[in-house]
Structure 1
Amino acid sequence: MRKILPFLFFGIFIINGFSQSPLRLEPKKYGYRAGDSIYKYQVEYKDPGSKGRQLQWDFSNVKVLNDNYLIKYFYPDKKDTFHICGMEHRTRYYYLQKKDSLWSTGFENYTTLINYTTPELKLKFPFNYGDTLYSAFEGEGIYCNMLKLKVKGWTRVEADAEGELTLPGNKKVKHALRTHTTRYYTETGKDSTEMSYETYTWYGKNLRYPIFESIKTTLHRLSPGRGDGGEVGVKQGSQVSDTIVFHTSFYYTPEELNIQPDLLANDSTDIYGNPIPEAERVFTEARMLPNPVINNLNIDFKLTRRAVIWFSVHNNIGIPMRQTHPQSLDEGYHQTQIPMGGLVTGTYTVYVHVDDRMIQRVVVKK
């Protein structure tokens, strides 16, 4: 088994880039937030391309593999707002968000439980183009309630590229920032396994969560003759045989991601470089849950000023199916509920009427 670079296990190293990106990752704007539910689309793997500045990525043509991939963030203990959990693909991922850092502290699913005795540093804010961080992590756990596991490795994160991202529908995201994370680790149980996990992540202006991700997992195997000289009669200098065991990409539609309300008052353009409509400056922090919905659609929102608000739900040919009464609401947080239990399964457009302007959102009825 190859030796993991030992000096990386003595601490954390952060290199700050000399140049500043138009987009910088900050904890208030890009940290995980309890209560958020996000749908992303699993699509065929897209090559991330080279690193650098003023690049262009064309992800306009993607083949969807799974359009029902849900991520939920919540507090495992509501009294502890530093620890947050992300539920994804039947696995719980545990994080510690404190001050300027995001740490991974472990994960669990039906078969495996891992707790990091030395947490893994995922991001240290603020993070700009050219910034790099290194950290070590170590953990232990159990597989199928009987096999003890140990894991040890290192993580390197670099903000290695920025440019313009073209999404399905030929929507363009300007000043996108990409991070490249390499996670190299050894897992020891019945057998010993060396793996690397590479993630390329694209972030957009005013969007808390990524727009696009490309992920690749590689299994590193030594050929029958080990190259470390650890066995009698083994030939020195044997080659490593690497196998890509998994690769995929994920696309998060910007319309479904949460726009950051604190930025809207000072921002005149959205992630595409278009002017932000007045209605979206007034109607902010909107969450329509659950989505997909079975019975009642709950809408939470914040108004930045007093406005007349009402909602209408339309089917896929534009016929109104539900409508609320107009209300004059003060600045602040509000909630409304729309009954959708009697509607047939399908996709519906929710029109948010803000004074004499409109915003539209899409919900799915199960």
Structure 2
Amino acid sequence: MDRHLVLTSNDITYYDLSGDTLFIVHVENPLSKITYDHPILSIKYPFAYGDSISVPFSGYGVYCGDHPFREQGMSMVMADAAGSIVLGEDTIQNVLRVYTRMSYSVCMDIDSAALDSARLKQIIEERYDWYARGYRYPLFTTVTSTSYDDAAPIGTTRSAWGMPPDSQRFQADSCNEDIRRKDSIAIAEKAKANDDIIHYTVSQNGNQITVNYSLDGSADVSALVSDVMGVVYRQCRQNNDKGDGYSLCIDCNGLRRGKYILYVNVNGKVYNEKITVL
């Protein structure tokens, strides 16, 4: 088991790498400290587009130095999008977006003598991390946390931060440097020309998007529509043998007008096209 800590804002987070899974075991900040007897799932290695995992967690802590509290709930992690990110003149290849949803209850002033009188609050926290091959830390992270009292929302906090690719390239990391060279645009374009097994066109009739394609071999083909921030609104999936005349249809009626991105995933290889919802 490998333990390390990460500092973000005013929080200090301690992690344990147990086998192929990374867990959060302790979090502290100026107001509170909590240790998890059943740690929070952070991510599992390897993690690919379409993978998901859920694990329950619980922990005991102290708030404002002398107020005990308990957290208990479920953490669900899903790799829900894959593609590229364009940053100015820089294009980052092989980007994976990981969505984490934590749903849990908080019991304040809870100890062995006060179980029945504890005040119970619910919290739903949604987090998106954009990971890229060759970069140790997420390029971007966004977190939205909403608190509920007796099922009624009482407050929402939002935060976002990032570690730009240029900053991460300064780190002495020979393994990631080698991966970034292999993921260069020139090499990626050459590989794309050599190993494409799909030949497709995209047509649009109103807000009906159709991907017509043929395959040089059997493949698991999926398509999804997201906005420029990576939020997925529509998706579909099917498995086909080698052949012609295949199609995937996505109904985008009901979406807000504007620019979106259509991602086509073929056996893990991702293509993207810009579309406009009318």
TM bracket (short chain) = 0.5 to 0.7
Structure 2: distance between partners of 1:112 and 1:264 = 38
Cα 1:82–1:152 change in 2 (3 A) is same
Q: Aligned residue for 1:204? A: 132
Give 1:173's aligned residue. 92
Question: Is 1:89 matched with 2:38?
Answer: no
| Structure 1 Cα separation of the partners of residues 142 and 179 of structure 2 | 32
Higher relative contact order, structure no. (Cα contacts within 8 Å, ≥ 6 residues apart): 1
Structure 2 unmatched runs, 5+: 110-118, 188-278
Who is 1:249 aligned against? 160
Q: 5 Å matches for 1:155-194?
A: 155-167=75-87, 169-190=88-109, 191-194=119-122
Q: CA deviation at 1:88?
A: 2.3
After superposition, the C-alpha distances for 1:206-265 in whole angstroms (9 at most, x for unaligned) are: 00110111211111233xxxxxxxxxxxxxxxxx43355111322221011147412545
Contact 1:134 1:154 in 2 (8 A): yes
Q: Which amino acid aligns with 1:256?
A: S
Q: Which structure dedicates a bigger proportion of its chain to helix?
A: 2
1:273 to 2:148 alignment: no
Instruction: Sort the Cα spacing of 1:252 and 1:118 in 2 relative to 1 into closer, same or farther, 3 A.
Output: same
Question: Match for residue 261 of structure 1?
Answer: 174
Aligned pairs for 1:146-161 within 5 A: 146-161=66-81
Tell me, in whole angstroms, the C-alpha distance in 1 between the residues paired with 2:161 and 2:176: 26
Compared with structure 1, are the counterparts of its residues 264 and 86 closer, same or farther at alpha carbon in structure 2 (3 Å cutoff)? closer
2:134 touches 2:180 (CA, 8 Å); kept in 1? no
Aligned to 1:132: 52
CA shift in 2, pair 1:106/1:269, >3 Å: same
Answer whether contact 1:93 1:108 (CA < 8 A) is retained.
yes
Taking every aligned residue pair, what percent have the same amino acid on both sides? Answer: 25
TM-score, normalised with respect to structure 1:
0.45
Query: 1:206 touches 1:260 (CA, 8 Å); kept in 2?
Result: no
- Residues 65-144 of structure 1: pairs in structure 2 closer than 5 A: 82-144=2-64
Which residue of structure 2 lines up, in the alignment, with residue 311 of structure 1? none
The alignment's C-alpha RMSD in Å is 2.3
Q: Give the CA deviation at 1:177.
A: 0.6
Structure 2 counterpart SS, 1:256: helix
SS in 1 for 2:127: strand
Q: CA deviation at 1:124?
A: 1.4
SS class of match (1:133): strand
SS of the residue corresponding to residue 156 of structure 1 reads strand
For the pair shown, the structure with the greater C-alpha radius of gyration is: 1
Shift of 1:267: 6.1
Alignment deviations for residues 282-315 of structure 1 (CA, whole Å, 9 cap, x no partner): xxxxxxxxxxxxxxxxxxxxxxxxxxxxxxxxxx
Cα deviation 1:35-92 (Å, max 9, x = unaligned): xxxxxxxxxxxxxxxxxxxxxxxxxxxxxxxxxxxxxxxxxxxxxx821111222321
Structure 1: which amino acid aligns with 2:104? Y
5+ residue gaps, structure 1? 1-80, 223-239, 276-366
Q: Deviations over 1:172-222 (max 9, x none)?
A: 222211100001111111432110111111111200110111211111233
**How many equivalent pairs are there?**
177
CA distance in 2: counterparts of 1:265 and 1:209, whole angstroms? 16
Q: Distance in 2 between matches of 1:136 and 1:194?
A: 15
d(CA) in 1 for partners of 2:5, 2:93 = 31
SS state at 2:137 partner:
coil
Paired amino acid for 1:188: C
Q: Which amino acid aligns with 2:29?
A: N
- With over 3 angstroms needed to count, the CA separation of the structure-2 counterparts of 1:267 and 1:109, relative to structure 1, is closer
> Is this contact kept in 2: 1:207–1:260, CA < 8 A?
no
- 2:60 & 2:162 partners in 1: Cα distance? 32
Give the TM-score taking structure 2 as reference length: 0.58
Over 3 Å counting, the alpha-carbon distance change for 1:266 and 1:182 in structure 2 is closer
Distance 1:194 1:150 in 2: 12
